[in-house]
Amino acid sequence: MLREKLCSIEKSEPHPQTTLCCVVCTGMCSQFNALSCDECLQLGPQCAWCTLQNFTDFFSIDERCDTPEALLQKGCSGEFVEFPVTNVKVLKDQGLGKSASHTNVSYIAPQKMHLQLRPGSQLTFQIQVQEPEDHPVDIYYLMDLSASMIDDLKMIKDLGSTLSKEMAKLTSKFRLGFGSFVEKPVLPFIKITREELANPCRSVDYECLPTFGYRHLLSLTSSTDKFNEIISKQQVSANMDVPEGGFDAIMQAAVCGDKIGWQNNSMKLLVFVSDADSHFGMDSKMSGIVVPNDGECYLDDNNEYSMTAHLEYPTLGQLVDKLVENNILLIFAVTDNQRQNYENYASLIPGATVGVLASDSRNILELIMTSYKVQECILVFTRLTVTRVSFNVTVELKGCLAGPRHFSLRPVGFQDALEIELESQCACDCHQTPEANSAYCSRGRGALECGACVCDPGFVGTKCECTEGQEQISDCRAHEGAEICSGLGECFCGQCVCHPSSFGRVYGLYCECDNFSCLRFRGELCGGHGECDCGECVCHSGWMGEFCNCSTSNNSCVSPDGSICSGRGKCVCGKCECTVPGASGEWCQRCPTCGDICSLPRSCVECYLKAKDPSDECAVKCNSLHATVSNSTDFEESRAALCTLQSEDHCLLSFSLVDSDHGSIIYNPKLYDCPEPPNAPLIALGVCMSVLIIGITLLVIWKFLVSVHDRKEVAKFEAEKAKAKWQSGTNPLFRSSTSTFKNVTYKSAGQQKTYIS
């Protein structure tokens, strides 16, 4: 559709509670070559038609269709612009709840609306919903009674009483019902030997009931004692495969309303409890059941599903239809290992929610209460107040409607609904008042409608000025033998009127041009960087090439060293094309066989700079390297590699190297920072002075060390001398010259004689 090309947003507010969001095209509506007002309106909600009679004196007929702003710029004043806008009319709005002053209580407002939309437009309006006070609630408990649920069955024996107490806090009109399911009692879902049919749990030495499909056990009742009694009497059964027949049970519980006991004005909650996945659709074909489920009630006199072995499992689509039709909210209470499966199912079923069930169902009460309070699109109940919630509803019209379309909006779980009548605005009002046999149309050759002539049979042209068959076809051919209007238009009175195209605009004197037949690059017209004009790409600034896919910038070719393609290639379309053999990489930076690109011409540059006059020797060196030296500074710096080297005599050598088709060109060679020659006398004097100073320094150090040593020795001697002690005694080798003897006979005591020998 042409309007699918529209891509901007136009907004208006025709009603206080509405906001219109329309798609607006970035181009002009005139590019689609609309030839009538109706065709123009169908292009998109932003297009308008100019009904000014003499408008085509300055513009072609297809330019009558454009945006209102563009038409004003072309000289078409507002009174001649046909531009229908979205219209919203509230037909019935009685207010909400019992407090409203009317007999029939409604819990949704408004109750009836009429909408008029342009094709391609969106309309957003607001509705208000109020939860009824003391709303009746019916809960039907549908339980999986396969053998794995035996502990769950024991846990819910008092569920009726506890659930009733909790619900009494929210409503006084609460009822409970109960049903159970297992599986279709056919191969391959069960074993069909006589013993297994009588006791499916025989293999585990346990007595259980024969397998059944679905069994309705308790109609909705306010008696919790009956509910608890029914629960206490239940026994489990068994089957062979893991998935169960739960969807069969949901379908029967939804469509057998008379036996289940659903009230028309109640909130209907169907609690589905299981620890396994469910069969659906054509799963039953493996058992030979091929008759599709028809969505009808088949509960027999024993309240069992009588067609379980004859009809296929219902599809998800059938479940959705019946649950919505009967206004039933589904709560999946499943174990954690099945949560993802049932969340996927719930995403397709309006109002359905999923709660994680404990392995023994001990949290079933909490799960039911939580799901009851947070149902999607259902209002949250509070104990003290009645909740009022506002919803924003968006209606989008894709195309024209054959007539008024009626539909209703109803929050899931509510009986009240908003009735909506929708009309498409695909026809211009100006067509309702044509001017027959208008003088403007060549003196009565046609009727004037919406500013344009609708010619009588036998006449053509913008003003019906030509007779059919005499349209001057030759003026509509580019050359003799060419197709009329290039095969892309029709000839009217010697002028080509190009056909509209869903790909873009067809134009030109002979409809020979368009804006969509240019070359594409990576799927985008003109590489996404240009405009297509008559088959050729007109590139945007900064782009070039046949496809407009080549950037004129060399920034992407600059290697880390600052050169273009590392000096080993050329920048083409923003990418390096390596020209040196062996070079590779994004910037031609890898080249194992190249060596240093700056080192190759070193000998040529050194010879050129050191020689006072360039000699033949230098020419030979340069030619062998395919290099040429130039003193010119006029070169493309973006293509040059700047080289800085150290020469053999430790000078710095710099030059710019540019690759060309004829070899390397060396620009602006320079030699600088060369070391000065050494000063020999100064060096000799320095050496002598250094030797002398070092000798004197060593001699002083030696003399100092000797003096220190001597001082230490003297101090040591003095210390030892001070410590010495001289003792007196008899020399054992000495004999005195005097001897003394004592005469013992001598009378005089104490007298003795001394002899000197």
Domains of the chain are 87-131+386-424 (2.60.40.1510), 137-379 (3.40.50.410), 520-551 (2.10.25.10), 601-672 (4.10.1240)
- How sure is the predictor about 1, in pLDDT bands with cuts at 50, 70 and 90? very low
Cite the beta strand spans of 25-60 per DSSP E: 48-50
Count Cβ atoms within 10 A of the Cβ of residue 69 and give its class: 0-12 exposed, 13-18 middle, 19 or more buried.
Answer: exposed
d(CA 403, CA 422): 9
Residue whose entry in the numeric block shows the structure tokens 């046909």 = 82
Answer yes or no: is pLDDT of 532 > 50.
Answer: yes
CB neighbours of residue 265 within 10 Å: 11
d(CA 289, CA 295): 16
Query: What is the reported pLDDT for 432?
Result: 83
* Cβ pair 666, 656 in contact under 8 A: yes
User: What is the token pair recorded at 535?
Assistant: 């088959």
* Cβ pair 109, 386 in contact under 8 A: no
Residue 223 has φ and ψ, to the nearest 5°, of -85, 105
User: Which residues are within 8 A (CB) of 590 and not within 5 positions of it... i.e. 6 or more apart?
Assistant: 583, 584
* Cβ pair 71, 50 in contact under 8 A: yes
**What is the tens place of the pLDDT at every residue in 703-731?**
999 999 989 888 888 888 887 655 555 66
**What is the tens place of the pLDDT at every residue in 55-70?**
877 766 667 888 999 8
Helix (H) or strand (E) holding 418: strand 418-424
d(CA 270, CA 260): 11
Listed range (8-17, 404-413, 481-490) with the worst mean pLDDT: 8-17
**What is the tens place of the pLDDT at every residue in 288-339?**
999 999 999 999 999 999 999 999 999 999 999 999 889 899 999 999 899 9
Q: Identify any residues that bridge with 447 across adjacent strands, giving them in sequence order.
A: 454
d(CA 220, CA 472): 84
d(CA 635, CA 665): 10
Q: Mean pLDDT highest for which of 70-79, 165-174, 353-362, 586-595?
A: 70-79
Answer yes or no: is pLDDT of 6 > 70.
Answer: no
User: Which residues are within 8 A (CB) of 459 and not within 5 positions of it... i.e. 6 or more apart?
Assistant: 442, 445, 446, 465, 466, 467, 468
Helix (H) or strand (E) holding 691: helix 680-723
Q: How far, CA to CA in Å, does 250 sit from each of 83, 214, 322, 430?
A: 52, 9, 10, 56
DSSP conformational letter for 68: H
Please give the average per-residue pLDDT across 682-705, as a whole number: 90
Residue whose entry in the numeric block shows the structure tokens 């080297």 = 645
- How sure is the predictor about 472, in pLDDT bands with cuts at 50, 70 and 90? low
Cα–Cα–Cα angle for 527, 528, 532, rounded to 5 degrees = 85
Residue 372, SS3 per DSSP: helix
Residue whose entry in the numeric block shows the structure tokens 């409890």 = 273
**What is the tens place of the pLDDT at every residue in 127-144?**
988 877 777 889 999 999
State yes or no: cis peptide before 404, omega within 30 of 0.
no
Average pLDDT, the chain: 81
Answer yes or no: is pLDDT of 571 > 50.
Answer: yes
Q: How far, CA to CA in Å, does 178 sit from each of 57, 76, 138, 247, 373?
A: 80, 72, 11, 16, 21
Residue 144 has φ and ψ, to the nearest 5°, of -75, 120
d(CA 268, CA 139): 6
Query: What is the reported pLDDT for 18?
Result: 34
Q: Identify any residues that bridge with 653 across adjacent strands, giving them in sequence order.
A: 645, 671
d(CA 468, CA 643): 79
User: Which residues are within 8 A (CB) of 134 and not within 5 positions of it... i.e. 6 or more apart?
Assistant: 171, 172, 173
User: Which residues are within 8 A (CB) of 675 and not within 5 positions of it... i.e. 6 or more apart?
Assistant: 649, 650, 651
**What is the tens place of the pLDDT at every residue in 144-179?**
999 888 888 888 877 877 888 888 777 788 899 999
* Cβ pair 580, 558 in contact under 8 A: no
- CA 217 from centroid of its chain's CA atoms: 50
- Which of 601, 566, 561 has its CA nearest to residue 580? 566
pTM for the whole structure? 0.48
d(CA 584, CA 578): 7
Residue 611 has φ and ψ, to the nearest 5°, of -75, 135
* Cβ pair 299, 256 in contact under 8 A: yes
- How sure is the predictor about 662, in pLDDT bands with cuts at 50, 70 and 90? low
Q: How far, CA to CA in Å, does 187 sit from each of 98, 190, 192?
A: 56, 5, 7
- How sure is the predictor about 13, in pLDDT bands with cuts at 50, 70 and 90? very low
d(CA 270, CA 251): 11
Answer yes or no: is pLDDT of 602 > 50.
Answer: yes
Say how many Å lie between the first and final Cα of the chain, rounded.
Answer: 169
Answer yes or no: is pLDDT of 754 > 70.
Answer: no
Count Cβ atoms within 10 A of the Cβ of residue 413 and give its class: 0-12 exposed, 13-18 middle, 19 or more buried.
Answer: buried
